[in-house]
Amino acid sequence: MLTINYLSYIDLLTKAQAKYCMSKTLFIHHSQFDQHSVPPSHPESPLRNLAVEAKLRESGLWQDLDVRFCQPTDKEKLKLVHTPGYIDQLYQISPAKGMILADRDTPLAFDTLRAAEEAAGSGIQAVNSILQEGYQNVFCAIRPPGHHAEPNKTMGFCFVNNIALAAEYALTQPGINRVAIFDFDVHQANGTIEAFKNRDDVLVVSTFQHPHYPNSHWSVNAENIINIPIEAETASTQFRRQVETPVMASISRFKPDLILVSAGFDAHTLDPMGEVDLIEDDFYWLTPNDSKPSQHLQQGSNRIHARRGL
């Protein structure tokens, strides 16, 4: 079912490309789609990325993209976001073969950390592509996902917070002093929020179903954190009504040099992971092509679609 969301998003990209002749998008993906093995029934499946690429090729959009493999980052760079002890321990417990559970729902396989290094590296690569090569959009189709990973713990299928690392890296680059992260997903971005709470150089805006996993948005009260809880069964019109003003107001006020979009599609009505009832056009509306909230946000700002799954 998660595949449907991916496919829908690719349809939206196709539509945007055809209708608005947007500038060329860089698409970054893994060197091997099936890195990071998980149990067969696990919802965070490698088939998701395979489905993305299949749909891109089928639609013809693949030829219009610049496509690159992820450039893996190294263990030390992960410490820009995570505590050294956590990263060292993660590498220590990584199995040489098979898989273990890093927490109750986060399988860590022999090939997970290689995939995590690629996923995290793609965010750095995306920032460099925008700042040094002039790309207007970069889309990273990556796994494992990252937004639940906190500075010192795995959580919710996540090991390394990919979007947080991209933001921290961007802030080391000339001319990037303020970064906004917009996370739309049926789950709250607890890891990203934990990484940046009370910072004045990063804004995090998170939309999510409430009540729902990880049930933690009341735990952080900070000026730079904007939580937008959405009730189950909320559909397009009501969702847009609830989201547009707080997203627009907070990001406009913040005046970021770079916008990172942490894009989860599990608020789709067909996704079994949540009960929000969004459809394809809602994701189109949310993303920085011509969509309503983001068309204003694009002014004076670069942005990345840093793809994350769950």
**Strand extents, DSSP E, the chain:** 25-29, 66-69, 99-103, 106-109, 137-141, 179-184, 202-209, 225-230, 258-263, 302-307
**Which one, 45 or 125, has the nearer CB to Zn ion?**
45
The footprint of Zn ion on residues 257-296 (CB under 5 A) is 264, 266
**Which one, 105 or 201, has the nearer CB to Zn ion?**
105
Mapped onto helix, strand or coil, the DSSP state of residue 152 is coil
Task: Identify the bridge partners of residue 278 per DSSP, sorted by sequence position.
Answer: 268
**Which one, 25 or 207, has the nearer CB to Zn ion?**
207
Q: How many residues bind Zn ion, per CB under 5 A? A: 5
Token pair belonging to 174: 């000339």
Smallest distance, Zn ion to C-beta of residue 213, A? 8
Residues whose CB is less than 8 angstroms from the CB of residue 120 and which lie 6 or more positions away in sequence, other chains included? 72, 73, 77, 78, 146, 160, 162, 165
Smallest distance, Zn ion to C-beta of residue 58, A? 26
Smallest distance, Zn ion to C-beta of residue 192, A? 12
Binding mask 120-139 for Zn ion (x = CB under 5 A): --------------------
**Which one, 114 or 210, has the nearer CB to Zn ion?**
210
Smallest distance, Zn ion to C-beta of residue 264, A? 4
**Which one, 122 or 190, has the nearer CB to Zn ion?**
190
167: amino acid identity, one letter: A
The footprint of Zn ion on residues 157-196 (CB under 5 A) is 185, 187
Token pair belonging to 221: 């009260």
Rounded to the nearest 10 degrees, what angle do helices 47-59 and 2-20 cross at? 30
Residue 143 engages Zn ion in binding (rule: CB under 5 A):
no
Smallest distance, Zn ion to C-beta of residue 47, A? 17
9: amino acid identity, one letter: Y
**Which one, 25 or 161, has the nearer CB to Zn ion?**
161
Smallest distance, Zn ion to C-beta of residue 96, A? 30
Distance CA 135, CA 138 (A): 7
Instruction: Give the strands of the sheet with 66-69, arranged side by side.
Output: 66-69, 25-29, 137-141, 302-307, 258-263, 179-184, 202-209, 225-230
Smallest distance, Zn ion to C-beta of residue 63, A? 31
The footprint of Zn ion on residues 48-87 (CB under 5 A) is none
**Which one, 156 or 293, has the nearer CB to Zn ion?**
156
Q: Which residue is nearest to Zn ion (CB)?
A: 187
48: left (phi over 0), alpha (psi -120 to 50) or beta: alpha
Q: Which residues bind Zn ion (CB under 5 A)?
A: 185, 187, 264, 266, 310
